[in-house]
Chain A
Amino acid sequence: MAIIEVTDLTKKYGGRPVVDGVSFHVDEGEIFGILGPNGAGKTTTVECVEGLRRPDAGHVRVLGADPHGPGAAELRQGIGVQLQRAELPDHITVREALGLYASFYRGPADPDELVTRWGLAEKRDSRYSTLSGGQKQRLFIALALVGNPRVAFLDELTTGLDPQARRATWRLVKDVRDAGVTVVLVSHFMDEVEELCDRVAILERGRITALDTPSGLIERAGGAQRLRFRPLAPLDDSLISGLPGVTGVSRTGGQVEVTGNGDFASEVTTALARNHILVSDLRLERAGLDEAYVTLTGSTLDTEDAK
């Protein structure tokens, strides 16, 4: 069941469309990713869905209601939002902030439980201004969840977190999803999206250029896999190049690289075994989402970021 439906969403700033005819839906219980370079319109899109911005054209339904319509107040009981840029007063403590936000909702989560789950127990009575970047980020995620939302919007979830904290955060976000909360994740980190998302929309210059599961996107980008190895005995390329699924064989120094798709890798290893050719450094590489992204969009996020 679609918990969010967006149809032909358009938002212009100064006559220039920042979001240009975007349509997608988010199913209940999934983690839906919105991936794209800075300035692609990701944040504007989710802000229209959250009700922070009024679309210039198109329709948005969240939990069956229009974020700017009569059901908006009820809708806000059911969503939790972590904004990309939002801060708290310097002197408020972690526990106070969670308690205050909990008071806004009819059926809030237990702030103390959230404090523990998000690793802020030692900081519960610390003031906001004394928290590290990572602690602030975790507090914002906890604040997004304190209302026991049905849909959580997380914008640039792991910005400012160290690698270890990122992985921990990913695990917790999966727990959130497993508890039945639908998650909309805005990100420009490939690994994060690949790790977490059930489906991903790639947004570029205000338009969705691809929408699929992460593995679907990788598949669609060619899904090429590479098998590399060093033969320990002379190897005739023709032995391999004719095998089903193999698309190419090349050599660099003593290393053979075979590209292909489907089950070509086991075909290759079987053929090698049959011919009693021992190999070393055997590695199978599967293209990741970042390679797929480059193939699908013709650019990398990094170069877009630099603009």
Chain B
Amino acid sequence: MIALTLMETRLMIREKAALLIVILLPAALLVGFGLSSDGTVDPKLGQTMAGFIAAIGLGIALAVIGFTIVPATLATYRERGMLRRLAVTPARPHWLLVAQLVVNTALALVATAVLLILGRVGFGVPLPVSPGWFALAFVLTLAALFAIGLLIAAVARTGKTGQGIGMAVFFPSMFFAGVYVPVEFLPRPLQVAGDFTPLGAGLHALRDSWTGETPTLLHLLVLSAWAVVAGTLAARFFRWE
């Protein structure tokens, strides 16, 4: 189990694309927007541009992990017969799932740490003002996105399909979460719709706790519901071969 997790870690580091998108892309966005803004608090966003972009970057990182890396990797492993191969050893196939989730959680933590430190040091973005709520929002968001990733892996026959479905979920999610246009600038109905998407609710909760507000119960419930429902469906439909 530990050996599998270490191996998955090594393989992820070798798969440089994942690291680039999850860690470097959000960091680059933060640097780009941070340098081009004047550091004043935007009245409509309720935070500085850099603070907003740091949160958006975190949303992108988590969405890439949950919607694309997890489903594509697991569907590929199944397609290649690796889960079956493990089934005839003393190791169990679900260890590989657990190892994947552990490695991806670690990746999400690294991405978060990079954004927090870079934002704080480079652009004066305060560290999360309510660390407890921030941690809870982080855990719930990750759980909801992992559950959806597992569900995609459960229904996708091949790695390519997994990646395709992941992308089809990824881009609309980004829109509703306010990554392209901040939610504050979206029409009211779209804002409401966004509140009920996993990434939308997640980003709300992360931004609230980051700036010192208590996340709304609605967003926390939405995240929990996604985690439970998608997680249950994934467990129900997951095929090992």
Contacts and interface: CB of A to CB of B under 8 A. Distances in A.
A163 interface: no
Given A92-B7, A96-B10, A103-B3, A86 B84 contact: yes
Contacts of B81: 83, 85-87
A24 interface: no
B89 A87 contact: no
Contact of B82 (A51, A81, A88, A147): A88
A12 interface: no
Interface string B1-15: 001100100110011
B239 interface: no
Interface stretch (A71-79, A193-201, A216-224): A71-79
Contacts of B3: 99-100, 103-104
A92 B15 CA distance: 11
| Size bracket, chain B contacts | 10 to 19
A76 B7 contact: no
Contacts of A85: 81
B90 interface: yes
B94 interface: no
Contacts of A147: 89-90
Contact of A83 (B10, B14, B85, B91): B85
Interface in A135-157: 147
B87 interface: yes
Interface in A28-59: 50-52
B90 A77 contact: yes
Contacts of B15: 91
A83 B89 contact: no
Contacts of B4: 100
Contacts of B82: 86-89
B80 A87 contact: yes
A79 B77 CA distance: 22
Given A85-B81, A87-B82, A52 B88 contact: yes
B239 to A, nearest CB: 13
A104 B89 CA distance: 7
A104 B88 contact: no
A83 B88 contact: yes
Q: Do most interface residues of chain A lie in helix, strand or loop, or is the interface mixed?
A: loop
Interface in A209-234: none
B84 A83 contact: yes
Given A85-B81, A87-B80, A76 B89 contact: yes
A86 B91 contact: no
A189 interface: no
Nearest to B80: A87
A105 interface: yes
Contacts of B14: 91
Nearest to A53: B241
B12 to A, nearest CB: 9
A73 B90 contact: yes
A77 to B, nearest CB: 5
Task: With a 10 A CB-CB cut-off, give which of B4, B14, B82, B89 has the most chain A CB atoms.
Answer: B89
Interface in B48-94: 77, 80-82, 84-85, 87-91
Given A86-B80, A87-B80, A104 B90 contact: yes
Given A52-B84, A87-B82, A88-B82, A104 B10 contact: no
Nearest to B7: A100
A44 to B, nearest CB: 13
29 contacts: A50-B88, A52-B84, A76-B88, A76-B90, A81-B89, A83-B84, A83-B85, A83-B88, A86-B80, A86-B84, A87-B80, A88-B82, A89-B11, A91-B11, A91-B14, A91-B15, A92-B7, A96-B7, A96-B10, A100-B3, A100-B4, A100-B7, A101-B89, A103-B3, A104-B3, A104-B91, A105-B90, A147-B89, A147-B90
Given A79-B88, A87-B82, A91-B14, 7 more contacts: A77-B90, A81-B88, A86-B80, A86-B82, A87-B81, A99-B3, A147-B90
Interface of B: 3-4, 7, 10-11, 14-15, 77, 80-82, 84-85, 87-91
